[in-house]
Amino acid sequence: MSEKWKAADIPSLAGKRVIITGANSGIGYHAALKLARKGAQVVLACRDHQRGEDALARLHADSPGTHVELAILDLASLSSVRDFAKKELAQHRPLHILINNAGVMAPPRRLQTADGFELQFGTNVLGHFALTALLISALEHAAAESDQKSRIVTIASIAHKRGRLNFDDLQSTKIYSPMKAYQQSKLANLILAFELDRRLRAANSRVMSVAAHPGVANTNLFQVGDHSPFEKAVRNLFGHAIGIFLNSDSEGALPTLYAATAPGAEHGGYYGPQGFQEMRGDEVDRAIVAPQARDASTATRLWQICEDLTGTKFPSSPGSAPH
C-alpha cells in the first residue's frame, strides 16, 4: 500500500450488519468498537453471558448511540453453534460481514469440547467451520441485496508458520503439546480460509473469504486459562511486556478491520502488521504465508474431515441452504 491504512479509513458501514465471535475482549472488542463507530450494526457473539453484558455496557459507554447487541455462542459446542445460526437466520436480517475471531490458546492440559474434540481444534477450527457453513446463505443474500460483496474474515496467527497438520492425531489424543496444538489449529484456519476462497470463486459467489492476523498483541489469550499461579504470573508479566514493546489490542485489530472493510482487500488475501517479524506495527499489508498453508491436496482432505466431524456441509451453489 502506498499510504498507511488507518481505522479512520474504514468506509461508512451504515446499514451493514456484522457478527464478531469472541468480541467481549481484546482484538474482537476493539474491532467491534471501531466498526460500530462507522455505523455498522454489530453482534457480539460471546460464550459467557456476563462478560458479554460487561463488554456491551463498556462499548455503549465508549460510543453512545452505536448499534450493538449481544448473542450467546459457544464455539466449543456444535449444538450452541447450530442454535445460534438457527436464531440468526430466523430473524431474516442481512449479514454483510462475519469475523471468525474467537480463539483458545495453549491450555496446559488437554481439554475437550462438548462434542469430545480437543479444545483448540474444536473451537478455533470446527466451531468456526460449522458457523460459517450455516451462515453462508445469509451472507449471500446480503450481497445480492446490497450489490456489494459480503466478507468472511478468518483470524489466523503467525504461529501457523510453525504448524503442521497431524492427520493421524488431529485431536491430540496420543500426544498433547499445548503450543503445537495451537499452531495446528491456526494453520488449519488459514488453510480453510484459502480453500473457502477457492470454492466461493469457483461458484461465482458474491462472498469473499479473507484472512488476517494481529501480530502479537496483549490479549487475554495470554492471561486466562487453567494455569498454575507461577504460569499465571509469567503470562501476566509477558502480557505487560507485550503491552510496552509490541502491539496493543487496538493496533492488533487493524488487520482484522482492513480485511473486513478495506476496498483494497482481495479475495483470498491474508493481512497482518508490517513491523518486526510481523509481530507489531500499525501498518497493514500482505502477510507471509507458510508453504504448508497453500497445499491444495491438504486443504481438500482437511475440508472433508471438517465436514464429517461437524456434520455440516457448505451449500453446493451460492444462496442455497447448507446441508
Can you tell me the distance from the alpha carbon of 171 to that of 124, in angstroms, rounded to the nearest whole number? 12
- Coil, strand or helix: which one is 235? helix
Q: Which of 29, 182, 270, 271 is catalytic?
A: 182
Q: Residue 162 is placed in which grid cell? A: 510453525
Contact 144, 319 (CB under 8 A): yes
Can you tell me the distance from the alpha carbon of 209 to that of 160, in angstroms, rounded to the nearest whole number? 18
Can you tell me the distance from the alpha carbon of 4 to that of 318, in angstroms, rounded to the nearest whole number? 35
DSSP state letter for 277: G
Residues 6+ apart with CB under 8 A from 230: none
β 207-212/41-46 pair status: unpaired
Residue 182 annotated among the catalytic residues of the structure: yes
Contact 25, 220 (CB under 8 A): yes
DSSP state letter for 149: -
**Which amino acids are annotated catalytic?**
182
